[in-house]
Every structure is written in C-alpha cells, then in structure tokens.
Structure 1
C-alpha cells in the first residue's frame, strides 16, 4: 500500500516539474480515467492535455489508504495546487490503484473540489 501512496506522491512531483503527461503514460492502465470538476478524461486525453499545461506548486495532506483486496488500494487525501492556469485549487482526491504485473497502476482518480455542502 505504501508503494501506491509513494506513486501518487510521485505524480504530484512530476506535475510540479511539468511532466505529468509522462506519469500517465507510464503508470496508468490503458482503460484508466480521471473524473474532474469539468467531466471525465481518459488516459490518452490526459497525456495530451498535460503536455499543454504549465507546472503547478502543490501540497498534499491527510492521506488515508484502504486495501480493498490483495490487488487494489484506494487512496484518499487533500490537495492544494496553484499555478497560472489553476489558481488556488483545493480538492479532496480519491485514487484507485491495482497491482499489475510487478507494480501498482493507476486505474481511477476523482477530484472533489472544496466548497460549501450542507451535510
């Protein structure tokens, strides 16, 4: 499980260096996708879109990991990001990794932006 969390952190490191497209190319399953506030984006679209974006600064906190079964881990955490194209972004992120061969692979990620919600 810790390896999956390290991989998730590695994504953000690559994002901060302007290399997020490479992360998706190397570490996401071919049928993987991300749910963003604007809609669903598949792996191939992610690779193309991230090549067009500048790097962001970020901060991650409050990670929670849940081993779903021997081959899947759910990761949930808070992220803050900031950049010219995405100023002061704050969201709860949920990612699902699966064990594929000899490594974890990203299957799914969802962003839930912070905001008012009566619950």
Structure 2
C-alpha cells in the first residue's frame, strides 16, 4: 500500500518538474481517468493536456490509505500554486490496482475545498 502513496507523491514531484504527462503515460491504466472540477479527463487527454501546462508548486498532507478488494485507495489534501492554477486547495482520492507486477493508477478525483455545512 505504501508503494501507491509513493507513486502519488512521485506524480506531484514530476508535475513540479514539468513531467506530469510522462507520469500518466507510465503509471496509468489505459482506461484510467481523472475527475476534475471542470469534468472527466481520460488518460490520453491527460497526457496531451499536461504537455501544455507549466509546473506547479505543491504541498501534500493528511494521507490515508485503504485496501479495497486488492486495490489501494489513497486520499490526501493538496495545496498547489502556479500561474494557471493559483492558490488551489483540494482533497484528492486516487485508486491504484495491481497490474503487470506494479501499482497502476486507475482513477483520481479532485474535490476542491469549500465551505459546506455538514
């Protein structure tokens, strides 16, 4: 399970270095996708879109891991900042599956922080 969290951290390191597209190319299943506040983006589109974005600075906190039927659910908080995404704060949930002898990203969802009376 810890390997899935390390992969998630690795994604943000690569994003910070302008290589997020490569992460998705190497570590996401062919049918994987990400749910963003603006909609659903499939793997191939993620690779193309990340080629067009500048790096972000970031900080990750509050990680939680959960094993679900042989898959790993990774949840954490991110604060990120960059010219195209200023002062972004969200909760991220990712699912990894065991494929080809390693963990592979299947799904990621961003839930932006907001006031919510619950």
CA distance in 2, matches of 1:116, 1:104: 34
Q: Which residue of 2 aligns with 1:3?
A: 3
* DSSP 3-state at the match of 2:61: strand
- Once the two structures are superposed, residues 65-110 of structure 1 have per-residue CA deviations (whole angstroms, 9 ceiling, x without a partner) of 00112x3000000000000000000000000000002100000000
Using structure 1 for the length normalisation, give the TM-score. Answer: 0.98
**What's the Cα RMSD here?**
0.5
Instruction: State the 1:118 CA deviation.
Output: 1.1
Structure 2: stretches of 5+ with no match in the other structure: none
CA distance in 2, matches of 1:17, 1:34: 20
* 1:68 and 2:68 are equivalent in the alignment: yes
Describe how 1:100-111 pairs up with structure 2 within 5 A: 100-111=99-110
1:92 aligns with: 91
DSSP 3-state at the match of 1:26: helix
Distance 2:101 2:5 in 1: 16
Size of the aligned set, in residue pairs, is 118
What is residue 53 of structure 1 aligned with on the other side?
53
- The separation in 1 between residues aligned to 2:33 and 2:46, in whole angstroms, is 8
1:24 aligns with 2:15: no
* Deviation (angstroms), 1:63: 0.1
Residue 116 of structure 1 is matched in structure 2 by: 115
Stretches (4+) displaced over 2 A: none
